[in-house]
Amino acid sequence: MNDKEKLKMSFLRKLFYSFQDRSVRSQILITFIISTVVLAFTVIFTTGILRQTMSTVGDSYQTNADLDKYLTNITEAENAMESYMQYRTFESIDKYFHFFALSEETANQLQSKPSSIYTRQKEYIIRQLSLNFFNLSGSAIAARRANNNADINYYYTKSVQCFSFLREELLSLNMMYFKSNASEYELNKANTTILINTSIALMFIILICAILLIYISISRITQPLSKISTVARRVADRDFDVELFNSTRHDEIGNICMAFDSMIISIRDYIDTIFETAKKENELREKEIEMRALITDAHFKALQEQIQPHFLFNTLNTGAGLAMIEGADKTCYFLEQVADFLRYNIQHPGQDATIKGELGMLDNYIYIMSVRFGNRYEFSKEIDDETLSCKMPNMILQPLVENCIKHGLKDITENGKIKITVKYDSESDEINIFISDNGCGFDPEIKSKILKASESNEPVIVNSPEINQNEHISTGLVNVISRLKFYYKRNDVFNILDNENGGTTFFIKIPNV
């Protein structure tokens, strides 16, 4: 073995070991890529040869198709000429010029000079005959138009003879092309058959080689898997005193072995840290007890906060009793109404109410406002008695009436009107509540913001001294709308309407009565 062969063998050995040192995935991928590339190259090469062969066959027979088409066009032109010579119609002359143009275009593509090649010389003869036919037929048509009988017979006879010669030459050339093309087709067919058989055999060999390479790669994977399976079974049985793999492989099998080693070491470390985890759980339990104590303390403070409204409510009742003893009936009645208003809020925090209860609380509020503002506002009600027992969220009507007073009628000093209407709609089985005023109306921008806030469930603004009146009103309305939608599980239960004569109407729809 010479040096050149030794160098070649050394290169192949290095290439093989380099291939073995790669990961299993890379080995399979490289094998698949090489097989695919070779197979694809074979398919592309074969396809190219077949395409070229078919193109050659198609081009060969294209000459026959072109000659047939040319013969058809020139025959149609000759028939149109004869029709015109006989009947002298516009359709025949138009048909003649149409096929004359098509035939002339094809004739100009034929051989224009004499040639030593027989087929080319035939094309040259056909071109000259075609041009002569075009001239003679054109002269015959011109003579027919001029009614020149002597020229008609001469040019017509000559053009028919020329067409006869031209047709024979075309058929002869077409037959020559057909024989040549048939011979070439048979040759290409034989070459194509050989090429297809060779390609199939080559692809079959490449496929077998790819299968063998993949089988070898898979065998290198499955052989060490038995040991891994044994270790995995012992670990599943909670036997962690297994021997570590300490694998030196650099492929996926080596990665699995290292992962098993890391998992076993981690489990051992986890067992050692169980006591520390138990200590942390004890600390969490202590924190949970502390949080419960804080919650209890907060609840106690909340109960203490409730003492203040109860104290105010009891104080008002005491004041009402003193006013009755002293004979101040109006003061006594006023304090009783205020106390009833507070009692309703204390006894029904966040609970369901009835329309009757809401209207009763609203009467207390309206009386308080009447005492405060005198005859500045006029309150009226129109109530269907059959609606009084219907349930609804509490503290819904009072914020709306408060909005009418503080916002809609804020600039009115007299003749302010607020009307509360509750009607039952038998057709839709719904109760409609209208609270309207004749005030300044609702700012469209604020109205849009309120409806948008209620639709998007934005956080409600909490009343504070720094917030202006519009923001406070918006907060109350957003609360009302949100509570109604949540209570009835619908979005069409509230709307803000503009009155025709000025003012605003709040519309509440209570569904499914």
Report the chain's mean pLDDT, rounded to a whole number.
Answer: 77
Sign of the dihedral defined by the CA atoms of residues 451, 455, 457, 458, in that order: negative
pLDDT above 70: residue 53: no
**Averaged pLDDT, 371-381:** 82
Q: Cα–Cα distance between 487 and 194 in angstroms, integer?
A: 85
What pLDDT score does 26 carry?
72
What pLDDT score does 229 carry?
78
What pLDDT score does 173 carry?
86
Confidence of residue 337 (pLDDT cuts 50, 70, 90): low
**Averaged pLDDT, 285-290:** 74
What pLDDT score does 509 carry?
92
What pLDDT score does 168 carry?
92
Name the helix (H) or strand (E) containing 313: helix 307-326
**Averaged pLDDT, 404-411:** 84
pLDDT above 80: residue 186: no
What pLDDT score does 270 carry?
78
pLDDT digits (tens, 9 = 90+) for 453-500: 777 655 444 333 433 444 444 667 888 888 888 888 888 899 999 888
209 closest CA partner among 36, 26, 15: 36
Q: Residues with Cβ < 8 Å from 55, sequence gap 6 or more? A: none
What pLDDT score does 350 carry?
54
According to the per-residue pLDDT averaged within each range, which of 8-22, 131-145, 174-188, 239-253 is highest? 131-145
**Averaged pLDDT, 494-512:** 88
Residue burial 304-339, b: 16+ Cβ < 10 Å; e: rest: eeeeeeeeebeebbebbeebeeeeeeebbebbbbbb
According to the per-residue pLDDT averaged within each range, which of 251-265, 283-297, 306-320 is highest? 251-265
What pLDDT score does 289 carry?
73
Confidence of residue 420 (pLDDT cuts 50, 70, 90): very high
Q: Cα–Cα distance between 62 and 372 in angstroms, integer?
A: 108
What pLDDT score does 471 carry?
46
pLDDT above 90: residue 333: no
**Averaged pLDDT, 327-337:** 66
pLDDT digits (tens, 9 = 90+) for 4-47: 666 655 666 666 556 656 666 676 677 677 767 766 776 776 67
Which phi-psi region, left, alpha or beta, contains residue 360 (left: φ > 0; alpha: ψ -120 to 50)?
alpha
Question: Which tokens belong to 277?
Answer: 């985890």
What pLDDT score does 300 carry?
39
Q: Cα–Cα distance between 240 and 244 in angstroms, integer?
A: 10
Question: CB of 425 within 8 A of CB of 459?
Answer: no
Confidence of residue 72 (pLDDT cuts 50, 70, 90): very high
pLDDT digits (tens, 9 = 90+) for 97-148: 999 898 888 888 888 888 888 888 888 998 898 989 889 988 988 888 888 8
Question: Which residues on adjacent β-strands are paired with residue 377?
Answer: 416
Say which range, 275-279, 306-310, 415-419, 484-488, has the weakest mean pLDDT. Answer: 306-310
Residue burial 257-272, b: 16+ Cβ < 10 Å; e: rest: beebbeebeeeeeeee
pLDDT above 80: residue 222: no
pLDDT digits (tens, 9 = 90+) for 347-372: 555 567 888 888 888 888 888 788 77
